Structure 1
Amino acid sequence: MIGDKLAYHSGFKQTNNKIIDTLRSQLLSGQRICIAIGGESGSGKTSLAYALLLDIENSLGLKGYLFHGDDYFFLPPKDNHNQRLKDIANVGSSEVDLKLLDKHLSSFLSNKGHINKPLVHYENNSIGCETIDSSRFDFCIVEGTYTMLLKNTTYKVFIENSFIDTKSNRVKRARDIMNDFNEKVLEIEHNIINEQSKYANMLVKNEVFK
């Protein structure tokens, strides 16, 4: 995912310690695991996932890879937005190639070597490709709006903050246009995504951006 700036937020440390304590034995046993981070737009999925990856690496001496759900949209960002403008009913998990993402997670967990995955470039409104070598990593984290629906994950963490809670963070992020249409999209996503929290192993509240 080109165009998203990642920064470590120490405010996730307490949450990350709980996750690490829960999964420590699996991580240190040599078993390859995949942790899913899900939630609504602006809830801090990417920030939590990145902080968790670094905390696991630093505390356990392992190497992790971060999958971004946004890379698996069928259409690049602007084209996907235009499809929503044509028909807002297009909003939902069908916009994302979850089958391909699950396939790549399965390959990663099975350590099948090279994985050719999509890579979104926001500014260019394009979807390219990158190759990763799964043998270079010990675990992976996948973050995205619909990751609770994935089958090939070991542990699922859901951020409970709603699109109303995250409004100030979305304004600061300035990645999406703030207008009535996009707020309606977020409301639709909320009704879909909120139901997915039942698949999570852990529910958390993001206090970092308050």
Structure 2
Amino acid sequence: MLEDVLLIQDKHREAASIIVSEILERKDKEKYIVAISGESGSGKSELTHVVAKELFNKGIKVKPVHIDNFYNTHPLERQEFRKKHGVENVVGLGEYLWDDINKTVQKFYNNEKASMPCVDLVTQNIDTLTTDFNGVEVLVVDGLYAINIEGVDLGVFIELTYHETKKAQSNRGKEKTDELRFKVLEQEHQTVLGLKPKADLLINMDYKVVKVK
């Protein structure tokens, strides 16, 4: 996302260092996918940035992709759409353009160029980002439901819920905080929680990395 605000702290750096060590230890093929899932404000973008940067500094060709860009509604229309159709009916996995996400992943596997949406958080426009996956070894994908992508090699799940991340959400100011927003956060919470069994690594409430698989 363009103009996103990253609040990188020591806890992100410490967790990222452990995740990178796990990637280096587990990576056993040319194309490797890491997915980082968690609720709004849990530090997905910060963690993804630091993980990707550390891998790059170690000489690994890496590309971070934020799949929260792949919503099936325009940012300026999403709130009204949710209000009209009911949060409980539309918020969840069905809000993502999974076909487009899977096509992007396939481009990564095939060493091809890919065009994907990129939301400008200032103007709320949906721009198009073109990237070349030729030679990219590690794809680091983050998003609410990123861990649900097919073919993930290392799934990371952040256990912090929206109750603990209210301050981070406010500081980043990505969406208005009102009654509708909290209904959305609760529905997202239930959906994200259902993906937890897919995780190989958990980041607990203290932001410590716990190995599951």
Q: CA deviation at 1:196?
A: 0.7
Q: CA deviation at 1:136?
A: 5.0
TM-score normalised by structure 1 residue count: 0.89
Q: Which residue of 1 aligns with 2:196?
A: 197
Q: Which residue of 1 aligns with 2:82?
A: 84
Is 1:103 the counterpart of 2:112? The answer is no
Q: How many residues align?
A: 205
Q: CA deviation at 1:25?
A: 4.2
Question: Which aligned pairs between 1:56-205 and structure 2 lie closer than 5 A?
Answer: 56-58=55-57, 60-87=58-85, 88=87, 89-111=89-111, 113-205=112-204
Cα distance in 1 for partners of 2:5, 2:43 equals: 13
1:166-196 Cα shifts (integer Å, max 9, x gaps): 1111111122111121111101111111111
| Structure 1 runs not aligned, ≥5 long | none
SS in 2 for 1:171: helix
Cα distance in 2 for partners of 1:30, 1:190 equals: 33
Q: Which residue of 2 aligns with 1:50?
A: 49
TM-score normalised by structure 2 residue count: 0.88
Cα RMSD of the aligned pairs, angstroms, is: 1.9
Structure 1 runs (4+) greater than 4 angstroms displaced = none
Cα distance in 1 for partners of 2:47, 2:206 equals: 11
Cα distance in 2 for partners of 1:138, 1:163 equals: 33
SS in 2 for 1:73: coil
* Percent identity of paired positions between Structure 1 and Structure 2: 25
SS in 1 for 2:195: helix
Q: CA deviation at 1:106?
A: 2.3
Cα distance in 1 for partners of 2:151, 2:189 equals: 24
SS in 2 for 1:162: coil
Q: Quick one: which amino acid aligns to residue 176 of structure 2?
A: I
Asked if the contact 1:102–1:152 (Cα under 8 Å) also holds between the matched residues in 2, the reply is no
Asked if the contact 1:35–1:155 (Cα under 8 Å) also holds between the matched residues in 2, the reply is yes
Q: CA deviation at 1:128?
A: 2.6
Is 1:35 the counterpart of 2:34? The answer is yes
Asked if the contact 2:31–2:138 (Cα under 8 Å) also holds between the matched residues in 1, the reply is yes
Stretch moving more, 8-17 or 97-106: 8-17
Q: Which residue of 2 aligns with 1:4?
A: 4
SS in 2 for 1:135: coil
The structure whose residues are more often helix, as a share, is: 1
Q: Quick one: which amino acid aligns to residue 78 of structure 1?
A: L
Stretch moving more, 94-103 or 42-51: 94-103
Q: CA deviation at 1:120?
A: 1.6
Q: CA deviation at 1:93?
A: 1.3
SS in 2 for 1:117: strand
SS in 2 for 1:152: coil
Cα distance in 2 for partners of 1:85, 1:23 equals: 41
